[in-house]
Amino acid sequence: MYKINEIFYSLQGEGFYTGTPAVFVRFSGCNLHCAFCDTQHQEGEMMSLQEIVDKVNKYPIAPLIVLTGGEPSLFIDEAFVAELKQKTKKKITIETNGTRPLPTNLDWVTLSPKTAFEGGDLEPCVLKQCDELKVVYLGQDLAQYDDIEAKHRFLQPCFCEDEMLCKANMKACVEAVMQNPGWRLSLQIHRILNIR
């Protein structure tokens, strides 16, 4: 059984697959406690893998499943991914903080390490290879990510409720990308479009 916060169909709003329709499977529970996290980890319902498959299959045209959280690597393994892939016929992607090893049969790995933040329980990032590295940028030294092998590197401004702080975060992120052309800007377009 898996504690699932929600399963929904929307557009991927961040990173490489921005704008792509996807079914999001959001797990409850995380090993970190980032102050800016938008997931309510106490909420959720216990679901079997078959119940997850049944909900995902309500959206047959979606080409992607995004396993997100929370931290999905705390709950999934190779058998989970294999069965989900076989029963849904979809590409399986994951968004992870990188503090746990991952099943090797995932189709796409988005690594978003959180080791640069204060105020929370931090664990070292153990993943050193991914398809996409997505860093929530708050002015940290980008050299700390040099040892991570990634096909694509994205900086994303930290979203916050304070409009002035959000604008400052955006400006700093744009400047960092301009100074570091190996990185690209990723915006949370789902927030801009006011969709899930």
Active-site annotation holds for 190: yes
Give me the amino acid identity at 126.
Answer: V
Half-sphere exposure of residue 37: CA atoms within 13 angstroms, side-chain side: 25
Q: Which of 14, 27, 30, 154 is catalytic?
A: 30
Q: Exactly one of 27, 39, 71, 96 is catalytic; name it.
A: 39
Our answer to whether residue 34 is catalytic in this structure is: yes
Q: Which of 8, 115, 166, 190 is catalytic?
A: 190
The 8 Å CB, 24+ separation contacts for 59-63 are: 59/9, 59/23, 61/21, 62/9, 62/21, 62/22, 62/23, 62/90, 63/20, 63/21, 63/22, 63/90, 63/91
**Tokens found for residue 131:** 């398809």
> Could you tell me the two tokens for 75?
């709950």
Residue 104 known to be catalytic: no
Name the catalytic one among 36, 37, 41, 159.
37
Catalytic residue flag (residue 163): no
Strands 21-27 and 2-11: antiparallel
- The total number of residues written for the chain in this structure: 196
The verdict on whether 149 is a catalytic residue reads no
Q: Which residues pair with 149 in a beta bridge?
A: 129
| Nearest of 129, 127, 187, 123 to residue 154 by alpha carbon | 187
Our answer to whether residue 39 is catalytic in this structure is yes
Alpha carbon separation from 181 to 155, 177, 187 (Å, rounded)? 11, 6, 16
Q: 14, 24, 88, 130: which is the annotated catalytic residue?
A: 24
Our answer to whether residue 30 is catalytic in this structure is yes
Residue 6 designated active-site: no
Q: Which residues are catalytic?
A: 24, 30, 34, 37-39, 95, 190
